[in-house]
Amino acid sequence: EYTPGGTLRSRHPKGTHLPFEQIVTYVKQIASALDYAHQQRVIHRDVKPENLLLNAKGEVVLTDFGLAVVQRSLDSLSTSNPAGTPLYMAPEPIQRHPCPASDQYALGILVYEWLAGEAPFRGTLFEVFSHHLSEPPPSLCERLPDLPVAVEGAVFKALAKDPMQRFATVQDFARALEEACFTTQPLSVHTPIEAVSSDHGTQSATHPLPVAREQDHAPPLQYPAPRTPLPAGYGQIVSQR
Q: How confident is the model at residue 211 (pLDDT cuts 50, 70, 90)?
A: very low
**For residues 199-219, average pLDDT:** 42
Query: Is 46 considered catalytic here?
Result: yes
| Pairwise pLDDT comparison (58 vs 68), residue with the higher score | 58
Q: How confident is the model at residue 75 (pLDDT cuts 50, 70, 90)?
A: low
Task: Spell out a b/e string for 225-239, using b for 16 or more CB atoms within 10 Å of the CB, else e.
Answer: ebeeeeeeeebeebe
Choose, from 46, 75, 162, 216, the residue flagged as catalytic. Answer: 46
| Pairwise pLDDT comparison (241 vs 63), residue with the higher score | 63
Q: Is the pLDDT of residue 208 over 50?
A: no
**For residues 53-67, average pLDDT:** 90
Q: Is the pLDDT of residue 239 over 60?
A: no
**For residues 19-23, average pLDDT:** 93
CB atoms within 10 A of CB 116: 21
CB < 8 Å & 24+ apart, contacts of 86-91: 86/125, 86/128, 86/129, 86/132, 86/223, 86/238, 87/48, 87/119, 87/121, 87/122, 87/128, 87/238, 87/240, 88/46, 88/47, 88/48, 88/119, 89/129, 89/132, 90/132, 90/163, 91/132, 91/133, 91/161
pLDDT at 143: 93
**For residues 126-146, average pLDDT:** 95
pLDDT tens for residues 79-122? 466 778 999 999 999 998 899 999 999 999 999 999 999 999 99
DSSP 9: H
Q: How confident is the model at residue 78 (pLDDT cuts 50, 70, 90)?
A: low
Q: Is the pLDDT of residue 204 over 90?
A: no
d(CA 101, CA 159): 10
CB atoms within 10 A of CB 156: 16
Specify the pairing of strand 69-70 against strand 60-63. Answer: unpaired
Mean residue pLDDT of the chain comes to 80
**For residues 18-45, average pLDDT:** 95
Instruction: State the DSSP string of 82-94.
Output: PBS-GGG--HHHH
d(CA 132, CA 230): 16
| Pairwise pLDDT comparison (88 vs 196), residue with the higher score | 88
Q: Is the pLDDT of residue 209 over 50?
A: no
d(CA 233, CA 192): 39
Q: Is the pLDDT of residue 228 over 80?
A: no
Q: Is the pLDDT of residue 137 over 50?
A: yes
The reported pTM is 0.74
CA angle 182, 184, 187 (to 5 degrees): 90
Q: Is the pLDDT of residue 32 over 90?
A: yes
Residue whose C-alpha is closest to residue 161's, from 111, 91, 86, 85: 91
Q: Is the pLDDT of residue 3 over 80?
A: yes
**Cβ 187 vs Cβ 27: under 8 Å:** no
pLDDT tens for residues 163-173? 999 999 999 99
Kindly give, in sequence order, each residue whose CB lies less than 8 Å from that of residue 108, ignoring residues fewer than 6 positions away: 155, 156, 158, 159, 166, 173
d(CA 102, CA 88): 9
Identify each DSSP E strand in 64-178 by its residue range. 69-70
Q: How confident is the model at residue 66 (pLDDT cuts 50, 70, 90)?
A: confident
Phi, psi of 120 (to 5 degrees): -70, -30
pLDDT at 80: 61
